[in-house]
């Protein structure tokens, strides 16, 4: 159980860092480091996958009210 929470914590940190990782714009060949452009690109592509992987479903499934 502790390993599960540790893994989910690492995924949550990855989600946070995803908003700060610069990327290479293939069309013009330069590195984009503008936080606003990085956040928009991350929200369009990888954010949703990363968010789902970071949700601790064990907590939700252990809830007796669901």
pLDDT tens digit sequence for 21-58 = 999 999 999 999 999 999 999 999 999 998 888 777 77
Helices in the chain by DSSP H: which ranges?
A: 2-18, 35-44, 47-54, 57-61
Give Rg (Cα) of the chain: 16
| pLDDT 10s digits, 5-31 | 788 889 889 999 999 999 999 999 999
DSSP 42-57: HHHTTHHHHHHHHS-H
Determine the pLDDT at residue 3. Answer: 83
pLDDT for 19: 94
pLDDT at 28: 93
Hey, is 29 helix, strand or coil?
coil
């Amino acid at each position: 159980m502790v390993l599960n929470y540790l893994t989910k914590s690492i995924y949550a940190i990855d989600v946070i860092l995803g908003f700060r990782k610069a990327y290479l714009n293939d069309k013009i060949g330069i590195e984009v480091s503008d936080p606003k452009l990085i956040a928009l690109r991350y929200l369009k592509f990888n954010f949703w996958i990363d968010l789902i992987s970071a949700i601790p479903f064990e907590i939700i499934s252990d809830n007796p009210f669901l």
